[in-house]
Structure 1
Amino acid sequence: MFRDCTQVLDADATTYPGDPPIERTPHATHKVDGYQVTELGLGTHSGTHVDAPCHTEPDGRTLDSFPIETFVFDALLVDCSGKTAREPIERVDLPNPTDDDLLVFYTGWDAHWGTKIYFDHPYLTAETASWCAKHDYHVAIDALNVDPTPTEKASDDVSRYAEDEPEGVPAHHALLGTDHLIVENLTNLDGLPEQFTLTAFPLSVSNADGAPVRAVAEFYP
């Protein structure tokens, strides 16, 4: 069976604060031109996408330097659906090491796609990300970011996690700094088996720091 785990790219899609918005503009129409072409405007980290090491590492590899087969992952689902807003995913939440090459963190936060709450997602601690890199795992998540995303709630005294939030992007550095990839903004993970194949082929962009992907889970019922 196949399941599409890709967020739709449209004007309502959530983007990281400060990143380019997603724009779709008619370039040619059937009425005027006899055919239809749409102009797209987006960033390399729009929608469901994969981060290359050079996204955060000055000397990191570009996305097109990875063999295409890299993006067919033996995936292991890590159920973190009990996590609340801005709650860290910690080392204790991780499984015992396996032979899989991608840990997919299922938080259920894709339910908030297109809303302000989406920015207040759970995130990986630096220790969690370092453990993943040490055991040679790439990482994927159904949230905007593997690190905390800056929002008003990050400085809200009501948030019981705010005081412990890391600064910067330590999870990105731990993973991308060791040549591991990060897939963000997955969706539709609920009900997937623990082990499956995730295909996430990126757009073929030269020297890319990241690119949108079509993420598809393949599994047997």
Structure 2
Amino acid sequence: MSQLIDLSHTYTANMPVWPGDVEPQLTEISSVAKDGVCCHMVRSSLHVGTHIDAPMHMIADGKPLSEIPIDRFMGRGFLIDAREKTKIDTDLLEKSLIEKGDILLIHTGFDRKFGQPEYYETFPPITENFAHQVVERGVKMVGLDCPSPDYPPFLTHKILLGKEVLIIENMTGLENLIGVKNFEVIALPVRFESDGSPARVVARIS
């Protein structure tokens, strides 16, 4: 029997955002007691909480999320433990058994700092060389438990998205996959015609 591990932050009003981004609002506009039905309204950037970046986010004429085939959002998972690293570099790939079509998850441990200033200021970035190797190996999606794969000017973003390697940001709970040999990642976004979307990301352990 398979086990599901939730790798997503709970979406809440006023949850942390990338500096300068719009703070989310999750507002109750009707209630069961008063109106007979409860309904909420969301006002938010699409890059808040656990979410997926589409090529359109950084690439001129890049595809919106709505044009990405559904099978790109699920696949065999592979975890790299990078908790002791100040940057994500190619040494982490030397002995890895990543295969074409895999979804690569990078565990930095920074999800413990979600909501603190250092979460956005000191996370370990992915190097350009690492990104190029990921592309060469045919990885279809990269996910991290920190806010971004890199800092401005976002060259790593552009390397990955330029080759339609999708990016999951602000994951959590990756420590639950340490030592797990076989798992599937399912990261389903809303089908927005846009540059990204919040997503419920889970790992299914066989």
TM-score, structure 1 normalization: 0.85
**Alignment deviations for residues 27-69 of structure 1 (CA, whole Å, 9 cap, x no partner):** 1112321211111111111111111001000111111111112
| One-letter identity of the residue aligned with 1:172 | H
Q: Percent identity?
A: 30
| One-letter identity of the residue aligned with 2:113 | H
SS in 2 for 1:103: strand
Q: CA deviation at 1:97?
A: 4.7
- Asked whether the 8 Å contact 2:14–2:25 carries over to 1, the reply is no
Q: Distance in 1 between matches of 2:49 and 2:181?
A: 24
**Alignment deviations for residues 85-110 of structure 1 (CA, whole Å, 9 cap, x no partner):** xx211111224353251110001110
Q: Distance in 2 between matches of 1:67 and 1:111?
A: 32
Q: Distance in 2 between matches of 1:58 and 1:36?
A: 40
**Alignment deviations for residues 157-204 of structure 1 (CA, whole Å, 9 cap, x no partner):** xxxxxxxxxx50011011000111111111001131144111000012
| One-letter identity of the residue aligned with 2:80 | V
Could you tell me which residue of structure 2 aligns to residue 189 of structure 1? 174
Point out where structure 2 has 5 or more consecutive residues left out of the alignment. Answer: none
TM-score, structure 2 normalization: 0.91
Q: 2:58 aligns with which of 56, 68, 83?
A: 56
Could you tell me which residue of structure 1 aligns to residue 44 of structure 2? 42
Is 1:198 the equivalent of 2:185? yes
Q: After the TM superposition, which residues 130-169 of structure 1 pair with which residues of structure 2 at under 5 Å, given as runs?
A: 130-137=132-139, 138-148=141-151, 167-169=152-154
RMSD: 1.4
Point out where structure 1 has 5 or more consecutive residues left out of the alignment. Answer: 149-166
Could you tell me which residue of structure 2 aligns to residue 153 of structure 1? none
Extract structure 1 runs of 4+ deviating beyond 4 A: none
Matched residue count: 198
